[in-house]
């Protein structure tokens, strides 16, 4: 090993190391050798560790500590770095950079790195914000970005307590000088608009009073609506929107229960054709189950940008409320502890932050 | 500005409670004494009197009043004695029970209040009735009327003065299209009226008037609409544009030659006496040959009249 290091050191443009072999027990190891010692692992392992640290082998976040170690380990050894780049062909392309004599970094990889490095920052900043401001900013972002605004809006509208949703609406006005419902009504132009506006403007009764009679009546009304039209049309059905957007959550849960008893399958199954509707029912029925499902989807190999960002969103927004219930639901759904899944699928400070928020 | 007067120095709640008991005792009730006390106390003072009365005499003041008084006077006093936010919740609840006729009350409460006041009314509604106002409004209506009422009642409007004139122009166009095409596709119109801030809506209304030289309410078809949707829409637009003028009109309509509508008269005076009655009074005077007090004096009588006059500050 030391000879390898010395040979590489001499090919550097930096001043050559002394040619004496190391004399143990008589003099302290030379500077290069001291630095060479941590690189006792084979080069292939080093490369793999660095690739993983750079979010090149799946998982969320980057391993900041491993990156810093590598920086130190390969100090003044650009050839090691060049080897690393050559060994990492999907992200560094020798052919693309051949004309300039470099292993050029792919633009997509740079974008990937940007989002992976930013995960910890996003988590920390979101954690510091007031929950109402957080919700307002998410809602605004999702409304002005296009693609699937429904998901986050339904989540915020249906899983927050009545006063927290109101607080988020107030924060939205303070931040953007418009009401949340104005922007939802104006920007959502598809069939889900009336349901979304209804959900977002709800100020539900929060007490426990439930009428079994009403639950039965409305379960029947929902069943009639389901029978009459496919899910895609149901999202505009007056009865469906009215019930979901105005009834209190305990009342809705009673209605869903009666529905399942009467028809053998849960209501959300009948809404499978319209994700907005299905998510609304899931969020209203059992937020922990819904959140555990969202987290699970973030860890999948085919998770896209939104699915991955959802991990930060869920953990930060629920850390102070129903994280314990989410952990239980996750264990039930996936047969593994949430903390273990996070430790396995995330890296670096991002991982530590999530684990700290999730708790033991 | 309120019209009912409250003197600087008032007797203690205990003294008032005792005076009320004295007014109830014996043969008949001394209605003038009841009015002299209760019409000249603000909401906090009335609450103290109610608590003290119950503490001292082990009966609810509200129930005693209901048994001692009668008719329009009793109905007015029953609503007057409530806390202003509770009062609106109670009136809203009564309206939802026969919503096909009483929906204008819902529209008034939704549109004439500020966003914060409306939230307070809805919270009081939760506490009183163990369900939400939205539920009750939605369950009793269908179609366009339901969409409009639900939107008006659920919204938490931005209450700033920011106005986007480009948006006002484009939305005035949308409103015009909807109005022209009958009442079939009013989703966009309801969206606009149900979510935009009042300042933005007023800008839209004036753009409409500039473009089409008539206000929206005049442009809406004036036939009988069995669903009530058009009337609700007109009410909403009027309340948002100029609440004082709207309530003055309600008062004028309530005191027509063909007979007085005491319910509407009571509702407007009792709901606004300690809030913005002066403005409504002024708007009334501008459009009629007599003052509000003169009109009420002419169309009502007895204790009911005395009570209303006391609330108006006469």
**CA B28 – CA B79 distance, rounded (Å):** 22
The per-residue DSSP string of A13-35 comes to SSPPPP-PPP-TTTSPPPHHHHH
Residue found under tokens 């988020």: A168
Chain CA centroid to CA B230, Å:
19
Give the contacts of A111 (CB within 8 A, at least 6 positions apart).
none
Interface test with A, best of B117, B135, B151 (most A CBs within 10 A): B135
Mean pLDDT of chain A: 86
The phi and psi torsions of A93 (rounded to 5 degrees) equal -110, 115
A279 and A339 share a domain? no
In-domain check, residue A190:
no
pLDDT tens-place string over residues B174-201: 999 998 887 778 999 999 999 999 999 9
Place of tokens 């609810």: B60
Question: Do A220 and A307 lie in a common domain?
Answer: no
Q: Is B3 labeled as ligand-binding?
A: no
CA B227 to chain centre: 22
- Nearest-by-Cβ selection for B130 from A201, A204, A205: A205
Quick check: helix, strand or coil at residue B50? helix
For residues A133 and A167, is the Cβ–Cβ distance under 8 A? no
Q: In Å, how far is B123's CA from the nearest CA of chain A?
A: 8
Are A341 and A268 in the same domain?
Answer: no
Which of A175, A221, A242 to mutate against chain B (most B CBs within 10 Å)?
A242
- pLDDT band at A148; cut points 50, 70, 90: low
Cα dihedral A20, A24, A26, A32 in deg (nearest 10):
50
Co-location of A235 and A105 in the same domain: no
Instruction: Dump pLDDT digits (tens) for A1-25.
Output: 444 444 444 444 444 444 444 334 4
pLDDT in tens, B202-247: 999 999 999 998 998 888 887 778 889 999 999 999 999 999 999 9
Structural domain boundaries enclosing A209: 204-285
- Decide if A169 and B156 are in contact by the 8 Å CB cutoff: yes
CA distance B195 to chain A (A): 5
Q: Examine the domain organization and report whether A304 and A264 are in the same domain.
A: no
Q: How confident is the model at residue A96 (pLDDT cuts 50, 70, 90)?
A: confident
Is A139 inside any structural domain?
yes
Q: What is the ipTM of this complex?
A: 0.87
Q: What are B275-309's pLDDT values in tens digits?
A: 999 999 999 999 999 999 999 999 999 999 999 99
Q: Which of A285, A301, A331 is the last residue of a domain?
A: A285
The annotation status of B141 as a binding-site residue, yes or no, is: no
Q: Which domains does chain B have, with CATH numbers?
A: 13-69 (1.10.220.10), 85-241 (1.10.220.10), 243-312 (1.10.220.10)
A137 within some domain: yes
Q: What is the mean pLDDT of residues B261-277?
A: 93
Is residue A192 assigned to a domain?
A: no
- Are B145 and B227 a contacting pair, CB within 8 Å? yes
Task: Give the DSSP H or E segment for A93.
Answer: strand A92-93
Q: Which residues pair with B259 in a beta bridge?
A: B256
Residue ending a domain, choose from A261, A285, A309: A285
Q: Are residues A136 and A278 in the same domain?
A: no
Size of interface A-B (CB pairs under 8 A): 85
Structure tokens at B173: 């166009």
Which chain A residues are closer than 8 Å to B156 by Cβ? 166, 169-170, 173, 179-181, 201
Q: Is residue A303 part of a domain?
A: yes
Residues A243 and A347 in one domain: no
Interface test with A, best of B144, B155, B201 (most A CBs within 10 A): B155
Q: What is the mean pLDDT of chain B?
A: 92
Is there a single domain that holds both residue A330 and residue A273? no
| Chain A contact for B52 (CB, 8 A cutoff) | no
Identify the contact set of chain A against chain B, taking CB-CB distances under 8 A: 166, 169-170, 173, 177-182, 185-186, 193-194, 197-198, 201-207, 209, 238, 242, 245-248
CB contact under 8 A, B160 and A173: yes
The closest of A274, A289, A282 to A252, measured between CA atoms, is A282
Q: pLDDT at position A40, please?
A: 53
Question: How is residue A240 written in tokens?
Answer: 């469906």
**Domain limit, last residue, from A285, A312, A335:** A285
Determine if residue B299 is labeled as part of a ligand binding site: yes
Does A102 reside within a domain? yes
**Which residues, other chains included, contact A204 with Cβ-Cβ below 8 Å and sequence gap of 6+?**
A162, A246, A247, A248, A249, B132
Q: Do A214 and A90 belong to one domain?
A: no
> How many Cβ atoms from other residues are within 10 Å of residue B5's Cβ?
12
Structure tokens at B219: 């442009």
A207 CB neighbours in chain B (<8 A) are 126, 130
Residue B195 is nearest to which of A177, A179, A247, comparing CB atoms?
Answer: A179
> Min CA distance, B132 vs chain A (Å)?
5
Distance CA A166, CA A203 (A): 7
Show the tokens assigned to A14: 């930096």
- If asked whether residues A223 and A295 sit together in one domain, one would say no
Q: What is the largest CA-CA distance in chain B?
A: 69
Confidence of residue A29 (pLDDT cuts 50, 70, 90): very low
Query: Looking at the 3D structure of chain A, how many domains does it have?
Result: 3
Is B26 flagged in the annotation as binding? yes
For residue A289, the Cα-to-chain-centroid distance in whole angstroms is: 16
Both structure tokens of A77: 């050894």
Cβ neighbour number for residue B147 with a 10 Å cutoff: 25
* C-alpha to C-alpha distances, A142 to A110, A145, A184, A303, B313, nearest whole angstrom: 24, 5, 10, 18, 53
Residue among B280, B269, B255, B275 at smallest CA distance from B306: B269
Q: Report the range of poorest mean pLDDT among A278-287, B4-13, B122-131.
A: B4-13
**What is the rounded distance in angstroms from the CA atom of residue B94 to the CA atom of residue B106?**
10
- Whether the per-residue pLDDT at A149 is higher than 70: the answer is no
* Proportion of chain B in helix, strand, coil states, percent, rounded to 5: 70, 0, 25
What CATH number is attached to the domain comprising A350?
1.10.220.10
In this prediction, residue A129 has a pLDDT band, given cuts at 50, 70 and 90, of very high
How does DSSP classify residue A119? H
Higher pLDDT pick, B181 / A317: A317
Enter the tokens of residue A247.
Answer: 């009834």
Q: Residue A184 has what pLDDT?
A: 93
Query: Is it the case that residue A339 has pLDDT exceeding 60?
Result: yes
> Which runs of E-coded beta strand occur in B125-258?
255-256
**What is the pLDDT confidence band of residue A33, given thresholds at 50, 70 and 90?**
very low
Among A186, A198, A209, whose Cβ lies nearest the Cβ of B130?
A209
Sign of CA dihedral B280, B282, B284, B290: positive
Q: What is the 3-state secondary structure (H, E, C) of A166-186?
A: HHHHHHHHHHHCCCHHHHHHH
Query: A109 and A38, same structural domain?
Result: yes
Q: What angle do CA A195, B86, A200 make, to 5 degrees?
A: 15
Same domain, A118 and A141: yes
């Amino acid at each position: 090993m030391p000879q390898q290091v010395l040979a590489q050191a001499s090919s550097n443009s930096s001043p050559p190391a002394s040619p004496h072999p190391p004399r143990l027990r008589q003099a302290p190891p030379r500077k290069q050798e001291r630095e060479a010692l941590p690189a006792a692992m084979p080069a292939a392992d080093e490369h793999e560790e660095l690739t993983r640290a750079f979010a090149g082998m799946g998982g969320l976040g980057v391993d900041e500590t491993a990156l810093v170690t590598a920086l130190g380990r390969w100090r003044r050894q650009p050839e090691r770095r060049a080897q690393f780049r050559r060994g990492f062909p999907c992200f560094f392309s020798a052919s693309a950079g051949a004309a300039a004599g470099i292993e050029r970094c792919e633009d997509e990889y740079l974008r990937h790195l940007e989002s992976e490095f930013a995960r910890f920052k996003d988590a920390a900043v979101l954690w510091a914000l007031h929950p109402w401001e957080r919700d307002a900013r998410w809602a605004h972002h999702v409304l002005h970005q296009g693609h699937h605004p429904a998901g986050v809006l339904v989540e915020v509208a249906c899983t927050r307590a009545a006063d927290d949703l109101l607080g988020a609406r107030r924060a939205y006005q303070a931040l953007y000088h418009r009401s949340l419902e104005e922007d939802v009504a104006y920007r959502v132009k598809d069939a889900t608009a009336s349901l979304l506006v209804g959900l977002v403007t709800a100020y539900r009764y929060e007490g426990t009073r439930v009428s079994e009679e009403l639950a039965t009546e409305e379960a029947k009304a929902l069943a009639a609506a389901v029978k009459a039209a496919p899910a895609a049309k149901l999202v505009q059905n007056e009865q469906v929107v009215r019930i979901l957007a105005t009834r209190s959550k305990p009342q809705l849960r009673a209605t869903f229960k009666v529905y399942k008893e009467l028809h053998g399958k849960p209501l959300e199954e009948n809404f499978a054709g319209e994700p907005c509707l299905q998510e609304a029912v899931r969020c209203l029925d059992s937020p922990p189950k819904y959140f555990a499902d969202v987290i699970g989807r973030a860890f999948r190999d085919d998770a896209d940008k939104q699915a991955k960002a959802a991990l930060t969103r869920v953990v930060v927004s629920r850390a102070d409320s129903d994280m314990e219930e989410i952990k239980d639901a996750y264990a039930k759904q996936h047969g593994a502890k949430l903390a273990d899944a996070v430790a396995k699928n995330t890296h670096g400070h991002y991982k530590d932050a999530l684990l700290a928020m999730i708790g033991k | 500005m309120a019209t009912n007067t409250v003197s600087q120095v008032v007797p203690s709640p205990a003294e008032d409670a005792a005076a009320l008991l004295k007014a109830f005792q014996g043969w008949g009730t001394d209605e003038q004494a009841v009015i002299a006390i209760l019409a000249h106390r603000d909401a906090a003072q009335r609450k103290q009197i109610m608590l003290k009365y119950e503490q001292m005499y082990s009966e609810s003041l509200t129930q005693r009043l209901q048994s001692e008084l009668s008719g329009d006077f009793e109905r007015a006093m029953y609503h007057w004695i409530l806390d202003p936010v509770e009062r609106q919740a109670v009136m809203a609840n009564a309206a939802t029970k026969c919503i096909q006729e009483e929906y204008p009350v819902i529209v008034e409460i939704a549109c004439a209040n500020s966003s914060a006041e409306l939230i307070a009314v809805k919270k009081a509604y939760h506490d009183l009735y163990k369900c939400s106002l939205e539920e009750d409004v939605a369950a009793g209506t269908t179609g366009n009327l339901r969409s409009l009422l639900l939107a008006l009642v659920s919204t938490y409007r931005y209450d700033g003065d920011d106005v986007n004139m480009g948006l006002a122009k484009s939305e005035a166009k949308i409103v015009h299209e909807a109005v022209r095409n009958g009442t079939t596709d009013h989703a966009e119109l309801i969206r606009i009226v149900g979510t935009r801030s009042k300042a933005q809506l007023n800008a839209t209304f004036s753009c409409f008037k500039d473009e089409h030289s008539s206000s929206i309410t005049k442009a809406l078809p004036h036939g009988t609409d069995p669903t009530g949707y058009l009337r609700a829409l007109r009410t909403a637009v009027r309340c948002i544009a100029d609440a004082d003028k709207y309530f003055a009109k309600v008062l004028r309509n309530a005191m027509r030659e063909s007979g007085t509508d005491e319910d509407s008269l009571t509702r407007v005076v009792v709901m606004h006496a300690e809030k913005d009655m002066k403005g409504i009074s002024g708007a009334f005077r501008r459009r009629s040959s007599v003052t509000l007090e003169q009109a009420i004096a002419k169309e009502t009588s007895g204790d009911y009249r005395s009570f209303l006059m006391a609330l108006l500050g006469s």
